Structure 1
């Protein structure tokens, strides 16, 4: 095999740029994705754009409508439910593992508390700036922190594709619903539970948070088209 040169890294950059534009709401559902236009906007050839769009199609962020080409996928309740069925399992597992690690090591628990409180403070700042993509990024950061602290590296990698989809739904909801205060209050409750030494309580609180988020997203989708 020949060594792979720069194409994958360029394709990855293009993938990240298009993915973030979709997740942050800059490319809205139904937007037509023309390879030539995207290549021009990003200053690259068509090849990395083609590779990036294939990855996004596999993640169901992009859909192909026959001869009409590729479009940003619509948001729908069924996909939200399916993603949240996976997320609730991952979040409960991570919460249990973190709680067990914190109970076993006071010094490790102190580090968990310090880093967690920093993220909570920065999340509050993002919420107060009323910037939906920024607030959602901080939300993802909080949960990614819990995945990291669980000690199981496969939780974060498994959750990544689901968060790519959920980020865009969450941004759309935050633009139309004031849930920031509720979300970050629940994040504080989750951190307190992780430090409380009761894995079952942590799993319960994590599940309540996920189900509450799912309910808000489904309600928003039922009330307006995105």
Structure 2
């Protein structure tokens, strides 16, 4: 544990965490702006649907600020992230409906199928917050599948970099789980947060994914502005 920062995190690790939070918020704002510029309400709604995850990140920061001693903060972040994943999923379904005019029942059927296929066995366990975390993961994966469907059908909504950024979150989660194992089982730390090197390395992947989403959204704005300028000539 480094003494150069606050709580369990070193100063560089705090920079990484705060950067992740800022980048997600900026990405949300850029997507909302793009929806406003194009006059597409459903894109604006998607930008707003990113806000719950942004709010949840502040609970994670608060959790680390208290040296990981107030578990309720982490539990609340998981609950908010579940709502955030559902919001992203519903916003994506809304975009698909606007694009294809397809009945919502078909998307509901897809959601039900994916939820059933990916339902973890521990859903019936006693720890409700573990269940919330797993459910949130399944909902987010369902969102990613529909996001690919949307991108294939309508490339005017998101850039490929933005879509890749959302998918890169899966890499962040996978590496975090692996690093958690290394930190607690192999390196003898109580939690991943106590292993500043592995914790910061894992969190840097989330920073990369959020940056990809934001840069992709900015590219889409510039592309629209360039196309509009050419049409006015």
Report the TM-score, using the length of structure 2 for normalisation.
Answer: 0.30
Q: State the TM-score, normalizing by the size of structure 1.
A: 0.31
* Structure that is richer in helix per residue: 2
